[in-house]
Amino acid sequence: MLTFPAYRELAASLAQALGCELDQVDVHRFPDGESLVTVPPSRPGTLVVVCGLENPNDKLVELYLALGAARDNGAERLVLVAPYLCYMRQDKAFEPGQAVSQRLIGEMLSGWVDDLITVDPHLHRTPTLDAALPHCRSTAVSAAPLLGRFLQQREDGALLMGPDEESRQWVEAVASHCGLETAVATKARSGDRAVRITLPDRDYRDRSVILVDDVISSGHTLAEAATALHERGGGPIHALCSHALFAPGAERLLQQAGIDGVWSSNAIPHPTNRVDLTPSLAEAVRRMVSPDA
């Protein structure tokens, strides 16, 4: 197994679960911003590469160089574990001339590897991960079983709420593993940091609510949902997500909106990580690499 320094912790835990050795890519940044990427010698056969793709623009180039170097060094089959898969949200041209990044990045990335494993990819209008990654085999691991098990330890009968229709799939999946009641709000977005949330009509007074979404990016979606819930007397309010993207200022925004705590999976390394995805990812790698075992 091979990883980049930022994913060392998750990769070490995965390598231990799978009983394989872990090596690290060395990245040197030249003064002009280009990268020198060096990989240790590979044994022939399958190489599992662990590299998340949040903040992806530089990372994509360094990953491409590392994968190419690994092939040059003898790796025969490359399995990429990218717990966060970038550029999946732009799945159509909303305005004329916009790049459909899901299709373009998906075509590019899936041409670099033989297999790709990710967690809760943001597929809304695209039916399957295979459709977004046409040139390799792919598996979408669901964080829901482990997120749901994490919530099972709570005994306050909280309401699981999705902030928008796109989150329905995540809310229902988590609920199916913890048995909590669910509700889904509606969202109108008018800009990167401008959203309006309308809550379904019900009594929220003194109701503990856990907001569930696949990603928290600017934090505005969940902050608006929390504000709306407080206005209706709801609380305490927590947030649960698969991918803690957390753009600058997001944590503060969530605090200011009265969110009492955020819990995330370790698909993206972040101080809010509470749910370790190692068991589900290790199982996915095992099935991918030796489907008959």
Of 38 and 128, CB closest to ligand R5P? 128
d(CA 293, CA 16) in angstroms, rounded, equals 18
Is 167 a residue that touches ligand R5P (CB under 6 A)?
yes
Distance CA 252, CA 71 (A): 43
* Backbone φ and ψ of 67, nearest 5°: -65, -40
Residue 164 sits in the site that holds ligand R5P (CB under 6 A): yes
158-184 as b/e: b if 16+ CB within 10 A = bbbbbbbebbebbbebbbebbebebbb
DSSP 86: T
Q: Shortest approach of ligand R5P to residue 220 CB, angstroms?
A: 4
CB of 241 to ligand R5P, least distance (A): 9
Restricted to residues 195-214, the positions that interact with ligand R5P (CB under 6 A) are: 195, 213-214
- 166: contact with ligand R5P by CB under 6 A: yes
Q: Is 92 known to be catalytic?
A: no
Report the alpha-carbon distance of residue 215 to residue 226 in Å, rounded. 16
Helix (H/G/I), strand (E/B), else coil: 25:
coil
Site residues for ligand R5P, 16-45, by CB under 6 A, read none
Site pattern 213..242 for ligand R5P (x: CB under 6 A): xxxxxxxxx---------------------
Run of H or E including 35: strand 35-38
Measured distance CA(221)–CA(194) in Å, rounded: 8
Instruction: State the catalytic residue, choosing from 4, 7, 67, 187.
Output: 187
- Give the count of residues interacting with ligand R5P (CB under 6 A): 14
* Residues designated as active site: 187
Binding residues (CB under 6 A) for ligand R5P: these are 163-164, 166-167, 195, 213-221
